[in-house]
Structure 1
Amino acid sequence: MTAKFSRRGFLATSASAGFIALHPFSARAAAGQAHLRIMETTDLHVHVFPYDYYGDRPNDTVGLARTASIVNEIRAEATNSLLIDNGDFLQGNPMGDYIAYERGMKEGDMHPIIQAMNAVGFDASTLGNHEFNYGLDFLMKSLAGAEFPVVSANVALEKGADPTKDKTLVPPYVIVEKEVTTGNGETHTIKVGLIGFVPPQIMNWDRRHLEGNVQARDIIETAKAFVPQMKEAGADIIVALSHSGIGEAEAFDGMENASVPLAAIDGIDAILTGHHHRVFPSKAYDGVAGVDTAKGTIHGKPAAMGGFWGSHLGLIDLMLERDGNEWRVVGHTAEARPISKRNEDRSITALVESDNAVLASVQKEHDETLAYVRRAVGKTDAPLHSYFALVADDPSVQIVSIAQLWYVSQMLKGTEQEGLPILSAAAPFKAGGRGGPEYYTDVPAGDVAIKNVSDLYLYPNTVRAVRVTGADVKGWLERSAGIFNQIEPGKPDQVLLNPEFPSYNFDVIDGVEYQIDLSQPSRFSPKGDLVNPEASRIVNLTFQGQPIADDQEFIIATNNYRASGGGKFPGAMGDTVVFEAPDTNRDVIVRYIVEQGTISPSADANWTFAPLDGASVLFDTGPKAAAYADQVNGVSIEPAGDGPDGFARFRIKL
């Protein structure tokens, strides 16, 4: 578990930028002191080129090739440095799907994201939850080409008496022997321990690949077992590669976003975080217990989260001091460097150019991906967009639901489930939020290509069907309705959406009709915890014009993530599955469009907001939404000026 690396940074100049100012730690290091810079990418999701494959256009806000172009300059600011990736690199855009579903991975093949990471020169990486989306065989064949160690401590092929006795899928940690230069020019070897963690929820999210093959342990339990072992093995400092968000301060078994209690563990010196698709340090985490966004620390220890898709490079700078034969951290700073900036007129300015060597490493696969996503599979006679998917019945969600319903109806013929009414649940994946004001589905009328289907359905989920009761249907919809803030009747311009609620958990169920009473509190918290058991936002719930009885039975077509407990929806906790499809939801959508030839998507307004006299609400969406505002059924929408960060604001009168 020990690897030797020596990457020397430039001291004062860079070929691309001329003079580079040293970080104060490098400039002021005395004899016996060394400055170590730790650089982080996280949640790359196969974004190498600065290109939006879904939109089939360049995108200056993403791409490892852009991030890589500043790595050498950032290395040049420090006497000593390490470059780490924090997971979720293998899946997340059409290039990843092209490799997984079209080209495949044979023994000896190179995955393009691994090729690119090799070209950049990473020192180590950990696994994220999306590394498991294509199965263990695909994952291990992909990792075989990595010229850097990949670690993860809490995924075991076989569990032992404690985490240190587990047979882990990949090494739990690595100790990098890093040659560093001190302030007086002397060189020493420092042993940097790097240990990785992934949310144990992978066992639900990718159950079909993982159940019976691996087991996941709690992050905190695992860290407490391994950190002392790493110290005994000689690690001078320990950096946690936490593919886990910054969440609650108090640990509980199986927590998904465990970076705060992880930082509190004695022996861990710094935290690289991810999974949240956010930036740290930033005001996004103001007020979180244990977190100091001004200092960039969690429980007093430096931390960084480098955005997503290559948008930022997370930086932790450590001033290390030699004390006898040991090193200790005597100073630290943290920041996140962006590759682009948004201007006041909403335009984007690239702050860096792409690294040509990184582009060249995957040029062939990039070209093949473009051909893959441009294939037409049918036509649509109306636009498919998600600008209003969170506030009204929506055509981009409707087409997903219709395709799922079409498929499951065929699959259940001849089974004991045949004859039960079939509903279909789907959510908008691209609906702004953390993805920004351009992050929406927008497919014009005309040809529908694979890139458009990928745009409609981002994830390589597979179809599932669950058997539920009428009470479950209502509970499912109550869970979805948690995306809305409670609205006071008679009060104008209240904020409608809860920013802590992700759009992919806003399921709309087709096949029933219902209204949402926003004057009521939400029954569930954004994370799915029951907080108001008596609350009832879902009113006038009917099936074929008749009220739904609690004991009435239904089939709901959905995906493996939801059916296995993802999002904690009533009726979808893994024990109600009656059909597991071999096909992905995307493939089903493609097949449906191919069979239909031309689709005519139209929202039928099967759900609306219940009237609230005198109340109005505000919500933010993409600026391009203005072209479609007068076409939305079941709700009155009007422009309300500019929103923050490039979004446009609209008003709904209830």
Structure 2
Amino acid sequence: MSSLIDLHPMSRRAFLGGFAAATALITLHPFAVRANGNAAQAHLRLMETTDIHVNVMPYDYYADKPNDTMGIARTASIIDRIRAEAGNSMLVDNGDLLQGNPMGDYMAYKKGMKAGDLHPVIKAMNVLGYDCGTLGNHEFNYGLDFMFNTLGGANFPIVCANLTKGQLAASPKDDALHFKPYVIVEKMIKDGTGGQAPIKVGFIGFVPPQIMLWDAKNLEGKGQTRDIVEAARAWVPVMKEEGADLVIALSHSGIDGKGLSERMENASLYLAEVEGIDAIFTGHQHLVFPGPKDFVGIEGVDPVKGTLLGKPAVMAGFWGSHMGLIDLLIEKEGKGWRIVDFTCEARPIYHRDENRKVIADVTDKAEVVASVTEEHAATLDYVRTPVGKTSAPLYSYFALVADDPSVQIVSNAQTWYIKDMLKDGPYKDLPVLSAAAPFKAGGRGGADYFTDVAAGDIAIKNVADLYLYPNTMQAVAITGEQVRNWLEMSAGMFNQLKPGEKDQPLINSAFPSYNYDVIDGVTYQIDLSQPAKFDKDGKAVHPEANRIVNLMFDGKPIDPAQKFVVATNNYRAGGGGKFPEIAADKVVFVAPDTNRDVIVRYIIDKGEINPSADGNWSFAPMAGTTAIFESGPKGRQYAAAVKGAKIEEAGDGAEGFARFRLLL
């Protein structure tokens, strides 16, 4: 393989001058060097953004301050740099554009989108000149009309091969689809001599089939989803028949190595098995690939080289944190092109220095910032509007280890709402419980990713901070035994601890915090000497285990047969998180209101709220045992005041986190 070492006898300046004159390229990428002077080879750079979630600006609207870890206004600078380096480049987006921060909510709930309007994220993307995009699951959160009106303003095609308008046909190729399954972009590229040559690059898109559960309210009767791999096997041969030289999968689906299963949510690894697919852009999981931390040890996955079953693949983080890049050395084969070599990387927009401080690696692209100036200002006005007061701080620094005020206020509002909604119906005599989870609990979001609202005025930005997602309220009717198993599933958040041992790691990092439901209206303890009964997919891996102990309702042991109504959201009620026996057949009430709106109404109704946690759950004592967990350093001011848990500081953690010790 050629490399820059081969050029040692020639000075860099001499090489650049001769190379530029010969090829009109200005890059020293090894593939450009190898293709130099060869009309049968070319260097093509493919770039990806994914999971933008309306984060155009490097600004955290929840915290109401700038943030150097986010914003495609920053990612745009990397995109510009790549284009300047390369004679041939293409840019794609992998979905989850329209929801995820208050700007998205402002556009959906306050301003609205009419035909002909341009959404700010689409304005920004039009500035950057994308070649293609696909759908993410969050595109559906505000309804189909909003999605179609918004995406209709894009100056680039949107593709999705597994979203139908109605019931599935006998064959994927007979499905009536909401979007084109693929596009083939015909492009003139510069070959190694600087000459022009045509290439046809095909892009095919996929969305997780689970949107039919997560957004049933918006999709029922209006669409259906097909298995990702099944759709790919049907459409990729058609793309090749139509002359696609390269087929690139835009897969809003993550990487899971547990084996191919029907309607798999994270199917990108098995998408690589489909003959004819040349490269895969992935997303959805908010992780980074290739990279040193994520997806290590999965058969068929090379997290260093960035391959899935040997094929190039990238996952570019989230919120604009990274730009995914696949560099291809391509070679003419007959009338078409084939890949002869590749490299993959995810380029970040920031890094942390030796003191864990965030350092921006790029600046804003002025044209992107200018495109959303009006909406940015309107969003700031929107999120700063007061709706009431709180008599005590609302914070989530210890939401995973003790009953927590940020989760408590959500449960209070949900209970208040559902009791009112069901007061005259057939479920009026059933006791109402409430399930709520901490959404901002550090983890992948970083050391600042916590709710922290001071006592005093509460604004809309604070409510959005308490409840990140535009879920809608739902209620399920279940038994006491199902309540117990719901909590057993939630208790998978924690590692099993050995009694009497010191400073054991507490948190199971593979368990997402949004699946750690606290159920209010009952009291209980969690015995960490027991293994988790269920794995993260709801499978009973230790059926004999019982982490949930002393589960009481109304001061008495819960009756396994007693019926309860549990207030929750559409995600959980529809089967999201794979909690045992919690699915759409248990739903007894579907609200027209979002959980956020319910919280706002509750605060307005009360005027001033008291968010103090009621201490309805705790860990069972374990003599001589301590555990270590990480939280935000700002949590140190609250550690001594946490109810129902003994917490002490334990030094600094990694990547800006603080370490704490839980005394059991």
Please state whether the residue corresponding to 1:522 is helix, strand or coil: coil
Partner of 1:244: 253
Letter in 2 for 1:222: A
Partner of 2:518: 508
8 Å Cα contact 2:537-2:579 kept in structure 1: no
Letter in 2 for 1:477: L
Note the 1:300-315 alignment, pairs <5 A. 300-315=310-325
Partner of 2:59: 51
Please state whether the residue corresponding to 2:403 is helix, strand or coil: coil
Letter in 1 for 2:466: L
Cα 1:150–1:228, aligned 2, differ >3 Å: closer, same or farther?
same
Deviation at 1:27, TM superposition (A): 2.5
Deviation at 1:533, TM superposition (A): 1.8
Letter in 1 for 2:582: A
Partner of 1:41: 49
8 Å Cα contact 1:12-1:20 kept in structure 2: no
8 Å Cα contact 1:249-1:289 kept in structure 2: no
Partner of 1:371: 381
Partner of 1:499: 509
Does the alignment pair 1:61 with 2:78?
no
Does the alignment pair 1:264 with 2:264?
no
Please state whether the residue corresponding to 1:89 is helix, strand or coil: coil
8 Å Cα contact 1:151-1:172 kept in structure 2: yes
Cα 1:191–1:534, aligned 2, differ >3 Å: closer, same or farther?
same
Letter in 2 for 1:372: Y
Which of 252, 264, 288 aligns to 1:279? It is 288
8 Å Cα contact 1:278-1:305 kept in structure 2: yes
Cα 1:648–1:13, aligned 2, differ >3 Å: closer, same or farther?
farther
Which of 535, 539, 560 aligns to 2:549? It is 539
8 Å Cα contact 2:525-2:619 kept in structure 1: yes
Please state whether the residue corresponding to 1:464 is helix, strand or coil: strand
Cα 1:476–1:11, aligned 2, differ >3 Å: closer, same or farther?
farther
Cα distance between partner residues in 1 of 2:453 and 2:187: 50
Please state whether the residue corresponding to 2:644 is helix, strand or coil: coil
Any idea what the Cα deviations from partners look like across 1:167-202, whole Å, max 9, x if unmatched? Answer: 111111110112111101221111111001111000
Partner of 1:74: 82
Deviation at 1:645, TM superposition (A): 1.3
Partner of 1:477: 487
Which of 16, 30, 33 aligns to 1:27? It is 33
Partner of 1:232: 241
Partner of 1:183: 192
Letter in 2 for 1:49: M
Cα 1:612–1:480, aligned 2, differ >3 Å: closer, same or farther?
same
Does the alignment pair 1:631 with 2:641?
yes
8 Å Cα contact 1:621-1:647 kept in structure 2: yes
Any idea what the Cα deviations from partners look like across 1:225-246, whole Å, max 9, x if unmatched? Answer: 1111111111101111011111
8 Å Cα contact 1:12-1:76 kept in structure 2: no
Does the alignment pair 1:146 with 2:159?
no
8 Å Cα contact 2:329-2:339 kept in structure 1: yes
Which of 95, 99, 106 aligns to 1:98? It is 106
8 Å Cα contact 1:468-1:555 kept in structure 2: yes
Letter in 2 for 1:89: L
Partner of 2:498: 488
Deviation at 1:21, TM superposition (A): 4.3
Partner of 1:529: 539
Give the TM-score normalised by the residue count of structure 1: 0.96
Cα distance between partner residues in 1 of 2:640 and 2:554: 28
Which of 422, 447, 455 aligns to 1:412? It is 422
Cα 1:11–1:455, aligned 2, differ >3 Å: closer, same or farther?
farther
Please state whether the residue corresponding to 1:318 is helix, strand or coil: strand
8 Å Cα contact 1:483-1:497 kept in structure 2: yes
Any idea what the Cα deviations from partners look like across 1:117-166, whole Å, max 9, x if unmatched? Answer: 00111111000000010111110011110000000111111332211111
Cα distance between partner residues in 2 of 1:220 and 1:323: 27
Give the TM-score normalised by the residue count of structure 2: 0.95
Please state whether the residue corresponding to 1:404 is helix, strand or coil: helix
8 Å Cα contact 2:130-2:156 kept in structure 1: yes
Partner of 2:610: 600
Cα distance between partner residues in 1 of 2:498 and 2:242: 60
Please list every run of 5 or more consecutive structure 1 residues that lacks an aligned counterpart in the other structure. 1-9
Cα distance between partner residues in 1 of 2:188 and 2:18: 19
8 Å Cα contact 2:26-2:86 kept in structure 1: no
Partner of 2:203: 194
Cα distance between partner residues in 2 of 1:55 and 1:92: 14
8 Å Cα contact 1:453-1:589 kept in structure 2: yes
Cα distance between partner residues in 2 of 1:75 and 1:24: 16
Any idea what the Cα deviations from partners look like across 1:206-242, whole Å, max 9, x if unmatched? Answer: 0111111100011111111111111111110111101
Cα distance between partner residues in 2 of 1:56 and 1:12: 51
8 Å Cα contact 2:313-2:344 kept in structure 1: yes
Partner of 1:457: 467
Cα distance between partner residues in 1 of 2:206 and 2:19: 36
RMSD: 1.5
8 Å Cα contact 2:53-2:101 kept in structure 1: yes
Which of 86, 108, 123 aligns to 2:94? It is 86
Please state whether the residue corresponding to 2:577 is helix, strand or coil: coil
Q: How many pairs were matched up? A: 641
Does the alignment pair 1:111 with 2:141?
no
Partner of 2:406: 396
Cα distance between partner residues in 1 of 2:257 and 2:229: 13
8 Å Cα contact 2:398-2:631 kept in structure 1: yes
Which of 216, 236, 250 aligns to 1:207? It is 216
Partner of 1:3: none
Deviation at 1:367, TM superposition (A): 0.5
Letter in 1 for 2:277: I
Please state whether the residue corresponding to 1:119 is helix, strand or coil: helix
Deviation at 1:611, TM superposition (A): 1.0
8 Å Cα contact 2:27-2:86 kept in structure 1: no
Deviation at 1:295, TM superposition (A): 1.1
8 Å Cα contact 1:150-1:170 kept in structure 2: yes
Which of 111, 133, 137 aligns to 2:145? It is 137
Does the alignment pair 1:121 with 2:129?
yes
Cα 1:191–1:361, aligned 2, differ >3 Å: closer, same or farther?
same
Does the alignment pair 1:167 with 2:173?
no
Cα distance between partner residues in 2 of 1:571 and 1:598: 37
Which of 419, 428, 435 aligns to 2:438? It is 428
Letter in 2 for 1:147: N
Percent of aligned positions with the same letter in both sequences? 63
Please state whether the residue corresponding to 1:509 is helix, strand or coil: strand
Please state whether the residue corresponding to 2:79 is helix, strand or coil: helix
Cα distance between partner residues in 2 of 1:418 and 1:324: 73
Deviation at 1:31, TM superposition (A): 2.2
Deviant stretches of 4+, over 6 Å:
10-14
Cα distance between partner residues in 2 of 1:164 and 1:21: 42
Please state whether the residue corresponding to 1:174 is helix, strand or coil: strand
Partner of 2:9: none
Partner of 1:7: none
8 Å Cα contact 2:403-2:614 kept in structure 1: yes
8 Å Cα contact 1:127-1:151 kept in structure 2: yes
